[in-house]
Structure 1
Amino acid sequence: MSIEHNKQQAVALLSAIESGIDIRSYFTDDARWRVVEGCPLSGDYAIADLVSAMGRVFGLYKYPPRFRIEHVTAEENRVAIYCRSSSELIDGSPVDNEYHFLMLFKGGLIDEVREFLNTARVIEIMPKLERLMASAQHRGE
């Protein structure tokens, strides 16, 4: 696939996340999503596990994150995106962060995502997410 195709797919993935739709079709069957070390979300995820976790976390948001893409660079099978996100938790707390996503493509699909983000921001918001999640579980949601 072409570099331009890969760029379009990478940007489309972020749009799909914003829309709250299933993102699995953007990935190879054995794709991985890796989140930089240093925060509670850090790890190496199979896409099915990531989608499940995103569903639980985004269920605590008033709306999925909105990405403001500032830079997209592509070369060979790699697309790099620098962006900022914003959203709001159901309790009204703002949720924002900044990211660098490095996406590696195979056969026109994303085979790996390496996510770098402001881990301090995640650490700051996690207690609120945990309280909201516990409250939702208590109510049986």
Structure 2
Amino acid sequence: MTVIENKNLINLFLGHFEKGSVDQILETMSDDSTWWVNGKPHLFPFAGLKTKAEMRPVLKELFTMFNGELKMDLKSSIGEGDAVAVEARSRGVTSSGKIYENEYHMLFRLRDGKITEVREYTDPMHAVEVMD
């Protein structure tokens, strides 16, 4: 795939993420894909390395914590070869009424029109504080 096609797939992924569409998010990923989030898993349960299958319940749990969508504002993206790097900002309202705003740097690796790897760098302590 071209860099533009790869970036388009990532934009599609982020659009599904915004809507909390777990099935559609996972459809953009290869069966052998992994998703890593920075942080200590014993302090932030979303942290660590997970397979695509392990991400389904994680994403379902995440989206139940919000009233409505988790808006993802794409600040920039850079693509080269099989990789796309994204800088984004999220905004949402939790079910307890708190405002959740976080910054992200995400590195995506792609193969044959599917995401094979997500590496997500974010502020896990903000997430713990707001989603508690």
> TM-score, with normalisation over the residues of structure 2?
0.90
- Residue 37 of structure 1 and its aligned partner are, at CA, apart by 2.6
Q: Is it true that 1:45 corresponds to 2:50 in the alignment?
A: yes
CA distance in 1, matches of 2:14, 2:69: 11
Q: Which secondary structure does the structure 1 equivalent of 2:120 belong to?
A: strand
Q: Is it true that 1:114 corresponds to 2:116 in the alignment?
A: no
- Residue 48 of structure 1 and its aligned partner are, at CA, apart by 2.2
- Residue 51 of structure 1 and its aligned partner are, at CA, apart by 2.2
Q: Is it true that 1:60 corresponds to 2:65 in the alignment?
A: yes
Q: Where in structure 2 are there 5+ consecutive unaligned residues?
A: none
CA distance in 2, matches of 1:88, 1:77: 34
* CA distances 1:9-52 after superposition (whole Å, capped 9, x unpaired): 01110101112222111011110000113451211011222121
CA distance in 2, matches of 1:87, 1:2: 32
Aligned residues: 127
Q: Is it true that 1:85 corresponds to 2:93 in the alignment?
A: no
Answer with 1 or 2: which has the greater Rg.
Answer: 1
User: What is the aligned partner in structure 2 of residue 29 from structure 1?
Assistant: 31
CA distance in 2, matches of 1:37, 1:92: 25
Q: Which secondary structure does the structure 2 equivalent of 1:62 belong to?
A: coil
User: What is the aligned partner in structure 1 of residue 110 from structure 2?
Assistant: 105
Q: Which runs of 4+ in 1 moved over 2 A?
A: none
- Residue 120 of structure 1 and its aligned partner are, at CA, apart by 2.6
Q: Is it true that 1:16 corresponds to 2:35 in the alignment?
A: no
- How much is the aligned-residue C-alpha RMSD, in angstroms? 1.3
